[in-house]
Amino acid sequence: MPTLRDIRKRLRAIQNTKKITAAMKMVAAAKLRKVQDRMLNFRPYATKMESVLSDLSKVAEREIHPLFVLRPRKTVELLVITSDKGLCGAFNSNLLRFASKHLDALKHEGVEFTMNVVGRKSRDYFRRRNVPMRKTWLGLSGRIAFSDAQNIANDLVENYTNETIDEVVVIFNEFKSLIAQKVTTMKLLPIGTIEPEGAEAREPSIFGDYMYEPTRQAIFETLLPKYIEVEIYRALLESSAAEEAARMTAMENATKNCSEMIDKVTLLANKVRQASITKELMDVVGGVEALKG
């Protein structure tokens, strides 16, 4: 049985851990409020852009812009979005297992693939498994800017138009609620018929021709790259909000576990202390009886 000193030392360590996890929960909650506001404010813009491009894509010829062009599916690029830091429960592990299954499916189909990863967790995961990565983006967690999405989008658009890759698939955690995140797959390129979701989703309508100003070509050259940037930025915001929610939940559970361990260790310390007192009393009584004899 451990000594009372060892038990008290362990108790202090658990109490200190509880203070750290409680503080981390408060920090995650503060970060979540900020990124959640950004995400919720950006969703209507992204949804409206999907709605506009949904109408235009139904009447446009695929040859009008390189991002519309369909090619044989020879090389697929996966853009995997994870966090830079851990201590967020199964946030990263669930997504990385899903991405690995997707890679296995591509290998089974005989399709070549390239990797484009966001976050240290995905980089380290695929590096340990000797999976080649074309490009990595680190240090975005907690300070996502639209310029980050523009840089990623420019890289993807350039490689797609140069026919280095034939398809782009984004895998990220979509924010559903404070306790639920959903691993989501989004086919980014080539741009197909875009179906808006949420409040902007509507019944099919009769699509006629449109009047374009200045020209149809100029409008698509501006809108389509912007659409890619918007979709990547939305995925980054969704992933960031889901990360902070998962971290807040994980730290809350860790704090509860620490409280339960404190109760158990305190009870053990009391038992050991009581046993020590009882032993000392028995020694005293035994000594008194010996003197009497």
DSSP structure string for 43-99: HHHHHHHHHHHHHHHTTS-GGGSGGG------EEEEEEE--SS--STTHHHHHHHHH
Kindly state whether residues 270 and 229 are assigned to the same domain.
no
Kindly state whether residues 138 and 269 are assigned to the same domain.
no
Residue 201's region, left for phi above 0, alpha for psi from -120 to 50, else beta, is beta
Kindly state whether residues 98 and 174 are assigned to the same domain.
yes
Q: Which domain holds residue 100?
A: 26-249
Kindly state whether residues 191 and 201 are assigned to the same domain.
yes
How much is the pTM? 0.84
CATH number for the domain spanning 262: value is 1.10.287.80
**46 contacts 226 by C-beta, under 8 angstroms:** no
Joined tokens for residue 243: 């990360």
d(CA 170, CA 152): 12
Domain count, the chain: 2
Does residue 293 lie within any of the structural domains? no
Kindly state whether residues 183 and 45 are assigned to the same domain.
yes
pLDDT in tens, the chain (293 residues): 678 888 889 999 999 999 999 999 999 999 999 999 999 999 899 888 888 777 777 766 767 778 877 888 889 999 999 999 989 989 999 999 999 999 999 999 989 999 999 999 999 999 999 999 999 999 888 788 999 999 999 999 999 999 889 999 999 999 988 888 899 999 988 887 555 554 444 444 444 566 777 777 788 888 889 999 999 999 999 999 999 999 999 999 999 999 999 999 999 888 888 888 887 788 777 777 777 76
Kindly state whether residues 38 and 154 are assigned to the same domain.
yes
Kindly state whether residues 260 and 240 are assigned to the same domain.
no
